Amino acid sequence: MRRGSDHRSSVRVQSDPAGRLVITGQPEQPENPWGISAFKKVVSLPGRIDPLQTSAVVSLHGRLFVRVPFEQSNM
């Protein structure tokens, strides 16, 4: 993820079939003038998901978009 010309950080999104997302972020420079710090957010979804089809993108404006398809039931 990039904000401004001198700020960089990495964002990682992990998922598991039970429907849990773990989103973490770490600035490349811990001491930065923007006040951005490391973070971790855990999101529990209401159903099972397909972790192989989960995707995440950070926009040029620093917004994180996560697509998490629910697992297809075999009915």
pLDDT tens sequence for the chain (75 residues): 334 444 456 889 999 999 999 999 888 777 877 777 889 999 999 999 998 899 999 888 888 999 999 988 765
pLDDT, residue 68, reads 93
DSSP type of residue 61: T
Domain annotation covers residue 29:
yes
| Distance, CA of 17 to chain centre | 16
The number of domains in the chain is: 1
Distance, CA of 27 to CA of 10 (rounded, Å): 6
| Distance, CA of 25 to chain centre | 8
Domain annotation covers residue 75:
no
Residue-wise pLDDT for 40-58, tens only, equals 999 999 999 998 899 999 8
pTM: 0.71
| 15 burial level (CB within 10 Å; 0-12, 13-18, 19+) | buried
Range of the domain at 39: 2-67
Distance, CA of 7 to CA of 1 (rounded, Å): 9
Domain annotation covers residue 18:
yes
User: Both tokens of residue 68?
Assistant: 């998490």
